Amino acid sequence: MDLGLSGRRAVVTGGSKGLGAAIAQELVGEGAAVAICARSETELAATAARLRAGGGQVFAQVADVTRPDEVERFIATSAQRMGGIDILVNNAGRAQPGGFATLTDADWQADLDVKLFSQIRCSRAALGHLRASGGGAIININAVYGRQPDPAFFATTVARAACLAFTKALAMEVARDGILVNSVNIGFVRTPQWHNIHQRRAPELPEEAFLATLAAAEVPLGRFGEPEEVAGLVAFLASRRASYITGASIDVAGGMGRYV
Ligand SMILES: NC(=O)c1ccc[n+]([C@@H]2O[C@H](COP(=O)([O-])OP(=O)(O)OC[C@H]3O[C@@H](n4cnc5c(N)ncnc54)[C@H](OP(=O)(O)O)[C@@H]3O)[C@@H](O)[C@H]2O)c1
Question: Cα(110) to centroid of ligand 1, in Å?
Answer: 14
User: What integer pLDDT is reported at residue 48 of this predicted model?
Assistant: 98
Q: Which atom of ligand 1 is nearest to the CA of 21?
A: 43
Ligand 1 pocket, residue 17 CB under 6 Å: yes
Ligand 1 pocket, residue 223 CB under 6 Å: no
Question: Cα(59) to centroid of ligand 1, in Å?
Answer: 19
What rounded mean pLDDT belongs to the chain?
97
User: What residues does each domain of the chain span?
Assistant: 9-186+229-247, 190-224
Name beta bridge partners: 136: 179
Per-residue pLDDT, averaged over 123-130, amounts to 98
User: What integer pLDDT is reported at residue 92 of this predicted model?
Assistant: 98
Phi and psi at 30, nearest 5°, equal -85, 0
User: What integer pLDDT is reported at residue 190 of this predicted model?
Assistant: 97
Buried b (16+ CB within 10 A) or exposed e, 147-159: bbeeeebbbbbbb
Per-residue pLDDT, averaged over 189-198, amounts to 94
**Could you give the C-alpha distances from 86 to 69, 124, 126, 186, 199, in angstroms and in order?**
22, 14, 9, 23, 38
Q: Which of 122, 186, 252, 256 to mutate to test the pocket of ligand 1 (most atoms within 8 A of CB)?
A: 186
Please check the confidence at residue 96 and state whether its pLDDT lies above 90: no
User: What integer pLDDT is reported at residue 56 of this predicted model?
Assistant: 92
Please check the confidence at residue 100 and state whether its pLDDT lies above 90: yes
The pLDDT tens digits of the residues spanning 142-174 come to 999 999 999 999 999 999 999 999 999 999 999
Question: Cα(176) to centroid of ligand 1, in Å?
Answer: 31
The pLDDT tens digits of the residues spanning 16-30 come to 999 999 999 999 999
Q: Which CATH architecture has domain 9-186+229-247?
A: 3-Layer(aba) Sandwich (3.40)
Q: Which residue, 247, 130, 14, 9, is CA-closest to 23?
A: 14
Ligand 1 pocket, residue 72 CB under 6 Å: no
pTM, two decimal places: 0.98
Please check the confidence at residue 54 and state whether its pLDDT lies above 90: no
